[in-house]
């Protein structure tokens, strides 16, 4: 992440926790980030004056090229108002990005050991490795990016995208609409989720209707709830309004960048985890774990009906320790914490 934000704005709070550590245009939905979509759709990228939270697609690009007036463009555009819309809109974004990236191109051959359904909607980039897997594109396209590894026994139902360098582990069960960003590792059961990049959900456990930021790790056995026991409307912490607001019938885990969860952590329905948290503890998690939380706050320290913006002092993740631990995780993928990242994290920590 090279374009971290420096100051909060109303829109950045509306899309918390993901926009505390990146510009809105660096959000990944479908296969590409919003910025990458604009660059591929229009020679000059996003036109000046259009909101950053528009999800660009080919139909919108045609309107712009035709010289349509701004009100017509805005009325036709889909925008990201809330963070849970990233997984809610991922299916249509995957389909549009798949067509954008693969039009007039030939896929690499599908290996003979791979079983497929609707192979015309499967595209494999150079360097990808697949053996004895099942790819079912009957419900949506499947995109396997450069140098992706899909291990034997994995079962994938589209729409699905695995971006460059990502790994799908043995026996994984993945349902659409799911996106693995660059250099992610995926295992266990995953459904309708977006992993932005460099994050791991490598072991058994369930991840559904969720969004995971960059440099996150979910330990073995971690699972989230995505549906209330009474099948009622889920209310999710919304930083922009400072309250829990309705997010629909299904919402799992929204985890900010650089956060991790210990083995067998059970995430409550519609849980929001801020950036740079080390999540562990007994029982179901609180439904909002603020940035730089160590463990998760005792119930007595949480305000009923509100979402604290900072962890209690007893549960604060020290900045120096957090930066050290993030750098250790980045070294596992042969990268290092950058000066920009350090400044961004310090800004968040100092303003909690």
Question: CATH code at 257?
Answer: 2.160.10
- Give tens-digit pLDDT for 121-151: 999 999 999 999 999 999 999 999 999 999 9
**Both structure tokens of 242:** 């400072």
pTM of the predicted model as reported, rounded to 2 decimal places: 0.94
- pLDDT band of 11, cuts 50, 70, 90: low
CB atoms within 10 A of CB 5: 17
What is the average pLDDT across 220-228?
A: 97
Is residue 247 in a domain? yes
Is residue 86 in a domain? no
**Both structure tokens of 217:** 């790790």
Which pLDDT score, from 0 to 100, does residue 298 have?
A: 58
Helix (H) or strand (E) holding 250: none
Which pLDDT score, from 0 to 100, does residue 49 have?
A: 87
- pLDDT exceeds cutoff 80 at 7: no
- Residue 188 CB burial class (10 angstroms; 0-12, 13-18, ≥19): buried
CB atoms within 10 A of CB 215: 28
The parent domain of residue 325 ranges over: 1-20+208-352
Spatial CA neighbour of 214 closest among 261, 181, 169 = 181
Strand-pair partners of 130: 150
Q: How many domains does the chain have?
A: 1
Which pLDDT score, from 0 to 100, does residue 88 have?
A: 98
Is residue 7 in a domain? yes
Is residue 268 in a domain? yes
- pLDDT band of 73, cuts 50, 70, 90: confident
Is residue 148 in a domain? no
Q: Rounded to whole angstroms, how far apart are CA atoms 200 and 283?
A: 22
**Both structure tokens of 57:** 């697609």
Is residue 301 in a domain? yes
Q: What does the angle CA 202 – CA 208 – CA 209 come to, to the nearest 5 degrees?
A: 130
Is residue 338 in a domain? yes
Its sign, for the CA torsion 86, 163, 346, 210, is positive
């Amino acid at each position: 992440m090279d374009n971290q934000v420096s100051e909060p704005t109303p829109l950045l709070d509306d899309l918390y926790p993901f926009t505390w550590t990146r510009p809105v245009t660096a959000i990944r939905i479908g296969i590409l980030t919003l910025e990458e979509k604009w660059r591929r759709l229009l020679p000059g990228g996003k036109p000046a004056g259009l909101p950053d939270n528009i999800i660009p697609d080919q139909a919108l690009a045609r309107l712009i090229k035709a010289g349509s007036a701004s009100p017509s463009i805005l009325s036709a555009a889909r925008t990201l108002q809330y963070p849970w819309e990233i997984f809610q809109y991922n299916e249509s974004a995957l389909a549009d990005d798949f067509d954008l990236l693969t039009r007039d191109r030939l896929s690499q051959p599908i290996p003979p050991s791979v079983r497929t359904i609707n192979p015309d909607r499967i595209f494999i980039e150079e360097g990808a490795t697949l053996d004895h897997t099942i790819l079912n594109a009957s419900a949506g396209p499947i995109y396997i990016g450069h140098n992706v590894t899909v291990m034997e026994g994995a079962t994938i139902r589209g729409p699905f995208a695995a971006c460059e360098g990502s790994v799908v582990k043995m026996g994984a069960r993945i349902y659409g609409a799911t996106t693995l960003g660059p250099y992610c590792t995926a295992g266990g059961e995953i459904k309708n989720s977006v992993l932005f990049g460099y994050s791991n959900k490598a072991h058994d456990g369930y991840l559904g209707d969720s969004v995971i930021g960059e440099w996150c790790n979910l330990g073995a056995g971690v699972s989230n709830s995505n549906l209330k026991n009474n099948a009622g409307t889920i209310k999710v912490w919304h930083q922009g309004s400072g309250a829990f607001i309705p997010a629909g019938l299904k919402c799992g885990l929204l985890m900010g960048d650089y956060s991790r969860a210990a083995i067998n952590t059970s995430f409550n329905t519609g849980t929001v985890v801020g950036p740079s948290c080390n999540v562990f503890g007994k029982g179901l998690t609180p439904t909002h774990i603020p940035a730089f939380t160590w463990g998760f706050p005792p119930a007595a320290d949480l305000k009923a009906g509100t979402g604290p913006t900072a962890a209690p002092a007893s549960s604060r993740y020290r900045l120096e320790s957090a930066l050290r631990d993030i750098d250790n995780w980045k070294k596992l993928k042969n990268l290092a914490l950058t000066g920009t990242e350090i400044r961004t994290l310090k800004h968040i920590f100092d303003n909690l």
